[in-house]
Amino acid sequence: MGRPLEKNVDSHPMSGVTYATERETGEATLDTAAQLHLLIDSVRDYAIFTLDVTGRIASWNGGAERIKGYRAEEILGQHFSRFYPPEDVAWGKPAWELEVATREGRFEDEGWRVRKDGSRFWANVVITALRDSTGRLVGFGKVTRDFTERKRAEEVREMERLREALQARDEFLSVASHELKTPLTSLQLKLSSLLRLAEGAPEAGLPGSRLAKDLELARRQVRKLTDLIEDLLDVSRISAGRLQLSPAPMDLAALVDEVVARNAPLSTQAGSRVDVEAVSPVPGRWDRERLDQVVTNLLANALKYGAGRPVLVRLGLEADTVVLSVTDEGIGISREDLPRIFERFARAVSERRYHGLGLGLFITQQVVLAHGGTVDARSVPGEGSTFTVRLPLSVPTPVKPPAAPGDA
């Protein structure tokens, strides 16, 4: 057996790198500098090279040749600015990068670089200032990695997101046009009918019951138009970060009763009984008008998709949190659609069978979040859905609602 190894530890005074050297009697070993040189030259995934203080290339590894296309004899002594697109050279980007590296010790960037054949690639670049034991700048180390494939994948994903956004916009415009046109058409027909009757027999007047019925229908259509426009305005306010709350003392139990009573005609039309299980009172400090929107939207959603079955509204307290839930026994929501139902313009059903802009749940979520609360949904297709809102008992003043997803 050979003699035990003699292990010595050497540290470079400036780099902080520690080298272990081993020597055994009768056998020559590769010195540390040669090992390091071999490692750098063997790397193919990174272009690793050094620059002198003026930016001229002083060393070149195999990875640099593979990525940039230059052999060492072609590029040594050349200025590293030749790797940059003309527009970057024109404004002095290469020199600026060296200035930053000199001042801060390193510089990192991602951007387009140019190969020998003139083609461009997306590069991740790190430039490190190299200093001797006295701190004097002696050059720069530069490591470049080709991230072109990653960049292309990101661009493909971004294009897909844009395509989906455009598709969602087009679908929304189609639905919005239909939703706005329907009450307008009905309103126009009723007003035209009343006008014809009035012009045909101005002295006879209109029967009171007929006039009251037609005017009530016209009033409902105007209210529907107003609600649609208010929803669109709310989305605009949310996107711009201008959804303001006006918290004041109120009783949420009384508000729930009021909303249920106000929507009695809608529940009758849907064929769904609405049951309420609530503690009372439930005092707190919230924006009454905005929570009216929340309760109304959730109840209307349950009646719309409840398939004529009963709807249950629960209101209770858990410690210092108010819990409001609305449960229907209707068509439910698929597992695939459930994660996106709170997105603006999201629709998990056919627009031909179910009307609406797809804004109610989005607005509901944003109002709840602005109150410092949460809203979530559980659903089983064919068995129904439950939407649960949790709110703190008080909202701080002033209230600054969070930005909607995708508007940052």
> Is 16 a member of any domain?
yes
Same domain? 254 vs 386: yes
Average pLDDT over residues 149-175: 78
Last residue of a domain, one of 96, 124, 146: 146
Same domain? 108 vs 173: no
Same domain? 135 vs 252: no
Q: How far apart are CA 79 and CA 103, in angstroms?
A: 20
Overall number of domains in the chain: 3
> Is 331 a member of any domain?
yes
Higher-confidence position of 183 and 64 = 64
Q: How far apart are CA 245 and CA 394, in angstroms?
A: 12
pLDDT tens digits, one per residue of 125-156: 999 999 999 999 999 999 999 999 988 898 88
> Is 404 a member of any domain?
no
Burial 5-17 (b: 16+ CB within 10 A, else e): eeeeeeeeeeeee
Q: How far apart are CA 84 and CA 95, in angstroms?
A: 11
Among the ranges given (112-126, 172-186, 304-318, 354-368), the one the predictor scored with the smallest mean pLDDT: 172-186
pLDDT tens digits, one per residue of 322-371: 999 999 999 999 888 888 888 876 655 544 444 555 688 888 999 999 89
Same domain? 262 vs 284: yes
Same domain? 105 vs 158: no
Query: DSSP of 98-154, one letter per residue?
Result: HHHHHHHSEEEEEEEEE-TTS-EEEEEEEEEEEE-TT--EEEEEEEEEE-HHHHHHH
Last residue of a domain, one of 83, 117, 146: 146
| Distant-in-sequence, close-in-space partners of 372: CB < 8 Å, separation ≥ 6 | 391, 392, 395, 396
> Is 280 a member of any domain?
yes
Same domain? 388 vs 274: yes
Q: How far apart are CA 378 and CA 327, in angstroms?
A: 9
Average pLDDT over residues 86-97: 95
Q: How far apart are CA 299 and CA 18, in angstroms?
A: 69
Q: How far apart are CA 297 and CA 263, in angstroms?
A: 11
> Is 182 a member of any domain?
yes
Same domain? 235 vs 171: yes
Mean pLDDT of the chain, nearest integer: 80
Quick one: tokens of 87? 């527009």
Higher-confidence position of 207 and 157 = 157
> Is 405 a member of any domain?
no
pLDDT band at residue 26 using 50, 70 and 90 as cut-offs: very low
pLDDT tens digits, one per residue of 40-70: 767 778 899 999 999 999 999 999 999 999 9
Residue 177 sits in a domain of what CATH number? Answer: 1.10.287.130
Residue 275 sits in a domain of what CATH number? Answer: 3.30.565.10
pLDDT band at residue 25 using 50, 70 and 90 as cut-offs: very low
Same domain? 138 vs 15: yes
pTM of the model: 0.49
In this structure, what DSSP letter does residue 358 have? S
Q: Are 327 and 305 in contact (CB under 8 A)?
A: no
Q: How far apart are CA 75 and CA 268, in angstroms?
A: 82
Same domain? 312 vs 383: yes
> Is 163 a member of any domain?
yes
Same domain? 138 vs 181: no
Share of the chain above pLDDT 90, in %: 46
Q: How far apart are CA 131 and CA 141, in angstroms?
A: 10
Q: How far apart are CA 190 and CA 222, in angstroms?
A: 12
Last residue of a domain, one of 176, 210, 239: 239
Average pLDDT over residues 306-333: 92
Same domain? 139 vs 162: no
Its domain, for residue 89, covers 6-146
Same domain? 196 vs 68: no
Quick one: tokens of 274? 């609405």
Q: Are 12 and 32 in contact (CB under 8 A)?
A: no
Q: How far apart are CA 218 and CA 51, in angstroms?
A: 79
| Distant-in-sequence, close-in-space partners of 233: CB < 8 Å, separation ≥ 6 | none
> Is 403 a member of any domain?
no
Higher-confidence position of 232 and 394 = 394
